[in-house]
């Protein structure tokens, strides 16, 4: 198990490239909707005009279509199959350092749309730099640096990624009733066969009260994938792993859903995720960072929290 931060202070490749900008458009539109209500006690964004993030009217149609597909297809059966593919002993896991992973992810956008305003490395460095400027601990800076690397799943055919719906978007538990506080829940879950299963459609479903989120199957995507990659290949504390796994779990950390599944530990994890969220959403409006200038600092940070250097993805 990862140490607690409380103990320390301070698809085929061609298809992936072709769909990179479309994926980022959807991901950014989802973030725009998520920015509508959320605010937190971060410092870096106090002077920002958060109305600039209120793009709900322009994002709504795109987001509605995305969630209609995601909510229809994120079933228990699909999630079990996705995890089986990830853990399969026959799967040859690609090996990359964290910085190599960042550079590879950069091609998702850069090679499909050279005019894109922000690269993947740019967004990761923006998040990490905002956290750093606010004087947050080094482990949290490292978390900001890597938090979106799960999108690499688009490059790895053996994972069986099917499109945008199983990569980005808000996450939620499968195997129990879909909470109405999930974004657009009222109009998008009717096509999901789990809503007609007497167990999966019940309030607790396959879970026991207070079972703990460690034991809950969240909808498969880049957050869940990266969590499974890093939990035994880093020295990041539990709070950092929670930031990675749950930062898209908006029904839980913003809307207050699924409290009945939480174990005592999860309340501390909730605070961590809520502290991280603004650095993901609002840092996207910051100036584009200089990769060359910042690389030495972040290479040192990577070595600190990823001591085995080359990770199995």
Task: Find out whether 135 is annotated in a ligand binding site.
Answer: no
Whole-angstrom distance, CA of residue 165 vs CA of residue 63: 11
Task: Find out whether 169 is annotated in a ligand binding site.
Answer: yes
Whole-angstrom distance, CA of residue 151 vs CA of residue 104: 10
Task: Find out whether 248 is annotated in a ligand binding site.
Answer: yes
Is the pLDDT reported for residue 109 higher than 80? no
Task: Find out whether 280 is annotated in a ligand binding site.
Answer: yes
Task: Find out whether 222 is annotated in a ligand binding site.
Answer: yes
pTM exceeding 0.85:
no
Q: Can you give the pLDDT at residue 287? A: 75
- 72 class by beta-carbon count within 10 Å (0-12 exposed, 13-18 middle, 19+ buried): middle
Element (H, E) at 144: helix 138-146
* Residues above pLDDT 90, as percent of the chain: 69
**Helix locations, 206-259, DSSP H:** 222-230, 238-246, 250-253
Q: Can you give the pLDDT at residue 53? A: 45
Whether the Cβ atoms of residue 45 and residue 278 lie closer than 8 Å to each other: yes
CATH ID of 83-312, from 2.60.220, 1.10.357, 1.10.3210, 1.10.3120: 1.10.3210
Task: Find out whether 224 is annotated in a ligand binding site.
Answer: no
Mean pLDDT confidence for 218-245:
98
CA distances 262 to 26, 107, 241, 243, 258, Å, are 30, 38, 16, 16, 7
97, β-bridge pairs: 310
Q: Write the pLDDT tens digit of every residue in 144-183.
A: 999 999 999 999 999 999 988 999 999 999 999 999 999 9
Question: Which residue from 246, 244, 236 is spatially nearest to 266, judged by alpha carbons?
Answer: 246
Is the pLDDT reported for residue 1 higher than 50? no
Whole-angstrom distance, CA of residue 259 vs CA of residue 261: 5
Is the pLDDT reported for residue 229 higher than 60? yes
Task: Find out whether 93 is annotated in a ligand binding site.
Answer: no
Whether the Cβ atoms of residue 167 and residue 153 lie closer than 8 Å to each other: yes
Is the pLDDT reported for residue 24 higher than 90? no
Q: Write the pLDDT tens digit of every residue in 56-68.
A: 334 577 778 889 9
Mean pLDDT of the chain: 85
Ordered DSSP codes for 57-77: HHHHHHHHHHHHHHHHH--HH
CA distances 148 to 24, 120, 177, Å, are 11, 8, 28
Task: Find out whether 228 is annotated in a ligand binding site.
Answer: no
Whether the Cβ atoms of residue 173 and residue 126 lie closer than 8 Å to each other: no
- Which residues have C-beta within 8 Å of that of residue 281, sequence separation ≥ 6? 31, 34, 35, 38, 53
Is the pLDDT reported for residue 10 higher than 90? no
Task: Find out whether 123 is annotated in a ligand binding site.
Answer: yes
């Amino acid at each position: 198990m990862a140490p607690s931060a409380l103990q320390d202070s301070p698809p085929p490749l061609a298809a992936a490239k072709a769909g990179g900008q479309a994926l980022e458009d959807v991901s950014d539109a989802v973030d725009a909707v998520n920015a509508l209500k959320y605010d937190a006690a971060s410092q870096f964004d106090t002077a920002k005009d958060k109305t600039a993030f209120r793009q709900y009217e322009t994002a709504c149609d795109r987001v509605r279509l995305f969630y209609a597909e995601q909510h229809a297809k994120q079933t228990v059966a699909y999630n079990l199959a996705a995890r089986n593919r990830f853990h399969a002993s026959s799967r040859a896991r690609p090996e990359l350092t964290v910085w190599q992973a960042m550079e590879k992810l950069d091609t998702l956008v850069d090679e499909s749309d050279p005019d894109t305003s922000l690269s993947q490395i740019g967004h990761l460095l923006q998040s990490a730099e905002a956290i750093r400027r606010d004087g947050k601990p080094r482990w949290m800076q490292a978390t900001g640096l890597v938090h979106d690397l799960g999108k690499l799943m688009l490059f790895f055919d053996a994972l069986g990624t099917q499109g945008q719906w199983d990569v980005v978007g808000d996450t939620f538990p499968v195997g129990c009733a879909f909470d109405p506080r999930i974004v657009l829940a009222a109009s998008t879950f009717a096509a999901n066969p789990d809503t007609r299963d007497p167990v999966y459609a019940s309030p607790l479903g396959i879970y026991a009260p207070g079972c703990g989120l460690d034991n809950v199957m969240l909808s498969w995507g880049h957050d869940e994938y990266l969590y499974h990659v890093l939990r035994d290949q880093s020295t990041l504390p539990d709070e950092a792993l929670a930031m990675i796994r749950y930062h898209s779990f908006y029904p839980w950390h913003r809307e207050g859903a699924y409290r009945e599944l939480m174990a005592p530990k999860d309340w501390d994890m909730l605070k961590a995720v809520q502290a991280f969220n603004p650095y993901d959403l609002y840092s996207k409006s910051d100036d584009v960072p200089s990769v060359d200038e910042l690389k030495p600092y972040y290479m040192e940070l990577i070595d600190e929290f990823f001591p085995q250097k080359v990770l199995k993805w």
